[in-house]
Amino acid sequence: MKKNELKAVIRYMLAAIVVLIAVIVFLSVKLKKTKADAENVKIVYNESIPTQTIEKAEPTPIITDYEINTEPDDDTDYLQLVNLENYIYELPDNLDLVERYIDDDLAEYGNSEILLNTEVINELKDMLEDAKAQGIPKYIINSGFRSIRNQTRLWNNRKESDPNYGKQPYENPLKCMPPNSSEHSTGLAVDILNTSYREANDGYGDTLAGKWMYQNAYKYGFILRYPENKTHITGVMYEPWHYRYVGKEVAKEIYEREICLEEYLNKTP
């Protein structure tokens, strides 16, 4: 190799090394910045939680444990409003295991040991018997009473995967509620799907079983709690599977006037 050629090769090599170093420096700065951004977002987020909605939506849960109380209690408030503005802190009375009343001829169970208010169970049973008699496929009872501790766990999981979740519920309605804001903690709400359609999504509302329940639930004291056109009031997504017991008279009025519980109670946010 000639001297000139050798010089040229060395020049190229030096140039290549310089470029390589530049790329490494650039990447490491960028990586650091991304990491810093991520940390900043986290810190900023943690410090900025007390926006009005989030502050309201994240009260400190005070219930840590519960016992099943099956003693009849005439004080149950079947119109209790639990939502993003109105919290529940107390354990409901009158809970019992749904399976003790409704056997698997009448319904499938998506979860074990589902608890509901005993009056609610009895009405639910009547409804499911009539649905069966009318040839509707078997329903699936997926969820009933949920302790505030359990709801807290669900909420924390959700917030972990999406820290911005629930910040603007009336524009961006929720599917998972914060602790103390879930109707499931009353023992008066039940999630029901069907063996013909097991997915908890909008499509269920268009099925025979979804429609049958929407059109008939009021006869047994239940309402579709989160209608499609009320998300700006409820802060909750359309949930064709979530039914709430309010008693027959009120349920009929809510169904016929096509309003939601907040509107019935004159407590819209």
244 is an interface residue for Zn ion by CB under 5 A: no
242 is an interface residue for Zn ion by CB under 5 A: yes
Number of residues that bind Zn ion (CB under 5 A): 2
Q: Which of 185, 191, 204, 260 binds Zn ion (CB under 5 A)?
A: 191
With CB under 5 A as the contact rule, which of the stretches 104-112, 128-136, 184-192, 227-235 interacts with Zn ion? 184-192
Strands of 56-162 (E only): list them. 95-97, 107-109, 115-117, 139-143
With CB under 5 A as the contact rule, which of the stretches 55-63, 159-167, 171-179, 234-242 interacts with Zn ion? 234-242
With CB under 5 A as the contact rule, which of the stretches 80-88, 158-166, 185-193, 261-269 interacts with Zn ion? 185-193
Nearest to 250 by CA among 232, 240, 267, 264: 264
In terms of CB distance, is 96 or 191 closer to Zn ion?
191
The token duo for 87 is: 């919290």
With CB under 5 A as the contact rule, which of the stretches 64-72, 161-169, 190-198, 212-220 interacts with Zn ion? 190-198
* Shortest Å, Cβ 259 to Zn ion: 19
In terms of CB distance, is 54 or 177 closer to Zn ion?
177
Backbone φ and ψ of 108, nearest 5°: -90, 160
* Shortest Å, Cβ 120 to Zn ion: 13
Cα separations (Å) of 242 from 11, 37, 89, 127, 250?
73, 40, 21, 15, 17
* Shortest Å, Cβ 127 to Zn ion: 16
Cβ atoms 83, 235 nearer than 8 A: yes
Strand 139-143 with 107-109, pairing: parallel
Site for Zn ion in 52-81 (CB under 5 A): none
Site for Zn ion in 136-155 (CB under 5 A): none
Cβ atoms 112, 144 nearer than 8 A: no
* Shortest Å, Cβ 142 to Zn ion: 8
The token duo for 217 is: 């639930």
In terms of CB distance, is 193 or 250 closer to Zn ion?
193
Per the DSSP assignment, residues forming a β-bridge with 97 are 115
Strand 242-245 with 222-224, pairing: antiparallel
What residue number has its CB nearest to Zn ion? 242
In terms of CB distance, is 230 or 242 closer to Zn ion?
242
Strand 115-117 with 95-97, pairing: antiparallel
The token duo for 269 is: 């946010």
Question: C-alpha angle with apex 148: 232 to 182, nearest 5 degrees?
Answer: 20
In terms of CB distance, is 2 or 184 closer to Zn ion?
184
In terms of CB distance, is 159 or 242 closer to Zn ion?
242
In terms of CB distance, is 58 or 191 closer to Zn ion?
191
* Shortest Å, Cβ 83 to Zn ion: 13
In terms of CB distance, is 123 or 191 closer to Zn ion?
191
85 by Cβ neighbours in 10 Å (0-12 / 13-18 / 19+) ranks as: middle
Residues forming contacts to Zn ion in the complex (CB under 5 A) are 191, 242
